[in-house]
Copies of this chain bind each other. A is one copy, B any other.
Amino acid sequence: MSELRYNVLFKEWVIIATERAKRPEDFKTPVPSSSKDTSDKCPFCPGHEGKTPPESFAFREPGTAPNTAGWRVRVIPNQFPALTLQGSEERKTDGEFYISMDGFGKHDVIIESPDHLAALWTMGQDQVEAVFLAYRESYQAMAADPRFEAIILFKNYGPNAGTSLMHPHSQIVALPIIPMVLRQKILVAHEYFEEHGHCLYCNLIKKEAALKERIIFENENYFAFTPYASHSPFEIFILPKEHSSDFGKISEQNCRELARVMQTVLKKLKVSLNGPDYNFNLFSAPTHSAESNYYHWHFKITPQVTKSAGFEMGSGIFINTVIPEEAARYLREAAV
């Protein structure tokens, strides 16, 4: 079982993942990347369902049994989970320096397609909609458990984004704590609401829509742009135009539309940057204060085209080598 430890020097939680732990001497050589990731060995490919933990749920052909082929999207517990349902969410503390709790949580993998070589930017529209409906269903199931405080949905695409597994997949983690990044976003948005009486993100969308220079794509319900102070080249935010703090409340119809918007934006990245490695993240409100007038859920996409290093680690300041307005124009004009 892993452990959550609180860093009193920074007021943040860290996961000590003993489930994934290696002995110290195993770090002597770099972790090898699985260059031999072919479909015959892949635990995510159809026919290999027995190589993974039993599925949480799947969208599958009528009449097919769980944990057999015939699925379109399959959600399974991560075989090397950062957190598990073992243990309890009780906190332990010495009253000053050492605060911890069991590594309590849930860590699932969303297998996005039976096709080992599929990718979000090239798969059919129906398929990418099924992926996002699986995100919605996973999110809602985790959010319904009152022991969790926040849900982290993310995708790592390619080795520079932190995955060596080629088969298309995303991950979702339910946490028993509110993570630092979300806490900071919530605090900032709450403060803005107190001072202005409106949602920070709603107001920013209006402003960006009027200025136009950082828009990448928009339609009736969604808005995609590069933030004024983007952390890295070609960073993209996707937000619903209508105020909403809780991703879990998204309608099926809006969820399908979101999937199409995400695919459009990813296609623009693929065309413009030759299919870069990327991460994306969902930032939805903490589950116990999910509905609020001050927070606004959003996806952030981070193409991995540069590396951060000591300066960023020592300061928290990102160095972005592309002017966001230029990045936006480049992506906006990419025909897909």
* CB proximity to B under 8 Å, residues A202-253: 203-204, 207, 227-231, 233-234
With an 8 A cutoff between CB atoms, is A146 at the interface? no
**A96 to B192, alpha carbons, bound, how many Å?**
10
Q: How far is the CB of A336 from chain B (nearest CB, A)?
A: 16
**A192 to B260, alpha carbons, bound, how many Å?**
49
Contact A326 B24 (CB under 8 A): yes
Over the window 239-274 of chain A, the binary record of Cβ atoms lying under 8 Å from chain B Cβ atoms (1 yes, 0 no) is: 000000000000000000000000000000000111
Residues from chain B with Cβ under 8 Å of A23 in the complex:
326
Q: A309-B156, A313-B302 are in contact. Are A200 and B323 (CB under 8 A)?
A: no
- The answer to whether residues A313 and B11 also contact, given A16-B323, A272-B24, A321-B22 and a CB cut-off of 8 A, is no
Whether B14 contacts A231 by the Cβ 8 Å rule is yes
For A162, give its contact among B98, B160, B307 (CB under 8 Å).
Answer: B307
Are A27 and B233 in contact, CB atoms less than 8 angstroms apart? yes
Shortest C-beta distance, A135 to chain B (Å), equals: 13
A28 to chain B, nearest CB (A): 5
- Given contacts A272-B24, A310-B281, are A16 and B324 in contact (CB under 8 A)? yes
A179 near B227 with CB under 8 A, answer: no
Q: Give the number of times this chain occurs in the complex, counting copies.
A: 2
How would residues 12 to 33 of chain A score, 1 for a CB under 8 Å from any chain B CB and 0 otherwise?
A: 1111111011111101111100
B31 touches A306 (CB 8 A): yes
A8: CB under 8 A from chain B?
Answer: yes
How far does the Cβ of A280 sit from chain B's closest Cβ, in whole Å?
A: 7
Tell me the bound Cα distance from A295 to B16 in angstroms.
Answer: 27
A78 to chain B, nearest CB (A): 11
Residue in chain B with minimal CB distance to A280:
B310
Starting from the known contacts A27-B303, A300-B313, 5 additional A-B residue pairs (CB-CB under 8 Å) come to: A8-B200, A10-B188, A24-B322, A27-B234, A180-B316
Interface of A with B (CB < 8 Å)? 5-18, 20-25, 27-31, 82, 96-98, 150, 152-156, 160-163, 171, 173, 175, 179-182, 184-185, 188-189, 192, 200-201, 203-204, 207, 227-231, 233-234, 272-274, 276, 279-283, 300, 302-303, 305-311, 313-324, 326-327, 330
Query: Can you list 13 pairs linking A and B with CB atoms under 8 Å apart?
Result: A6-B229, A9-B188, A15-B318, A15-B320, A27-B233, A29-B274, A97-B204, A161-B310, A162-B308, A163-B309, A180-B315, A181-B316, A182-B315
